[in-house]
Amino acid sequence: MTETPASAATARWLSTLLWLVPPLFELPMLVALGAGIPEVGREAVFGSPATQVAVLFALVAALAGFVAVVRGTTGLAQAAVAGSLSIASGIVAALAAGFLFGGVFPLLGLLPAHSALALAMLARATLRQPADG
């Protein structure tokens, strides 16, 4: 059975949306926990203010990746979005490693770890997106 272009676009949109949801909820929750509970903010790898900046960068990159996949980008824009998503994924993974292995809140590291995986999958989707839209 062959897919119509509309059903393929819908499937691409939904699968990308599924990878966008974890960073949109988990990363702001991590920032809120760091701001609301001083011990969590002190345990963050980059410190509380730098963690907020890193999370903001990751959220902007995730939204840009979603738009790039849904709207369809090529060339330099596609590479820039995928690169920023890869960098954001690494930053969030470092945050996860800090919570998992270096602090008194190891289970809190699961939030950024899952978000780092989702950001990496968004980067993959950005690069795999067909050039003809």
Tell me the whole-structure pTM to 2 decimals: 0.86
- Given a cut of 80, is residue 94 above it in pLDDT? yes
* Beta strand residue intervals within the chain, DSSP E: none
CA angle, 12 then 14 then 16, to 5°? 65
Residue 6 has what pLDDT?
Answer: 67
DSSP state of 130: -
Give mean pLDDT, residues 120-129: 87
Residue 114 — very low, low, confident or very high, per pLDDT cuts 50/70/90?
Answer: very high
Cβ neighbours, 10 Å, residue 65: 31
Higher pLDDT, 87 or 105: 87
Lowest-pLDDT range, 5-14, 64-73, 76-85?
5-14
* Distance, CA of 120 to CA of 118 (rounded, Å): 5
Using one digit for the tens of pLDDT, what is the confidence trace for 22-74? 999 999 999 999 888 888 888 888 888 899 999 999 999 999 999 988 888 88
| Domain spans in the chain, listed from the N-terminal domain onward | 5-128
Residue 133 has what pLDDT?
Answer: 47
Give mean pLDDT, residues 80-102: 94
Give mean pLDDT, residues 70-94: 91
Residue 80 — very low, low, confident or very high, per pLDDT cuts 50/70/90?
Answer: very high
Counting Cβ atoms within 10 Å, is residue 116 exposed (0-12), middle (13-18) or buried (19+)? buried
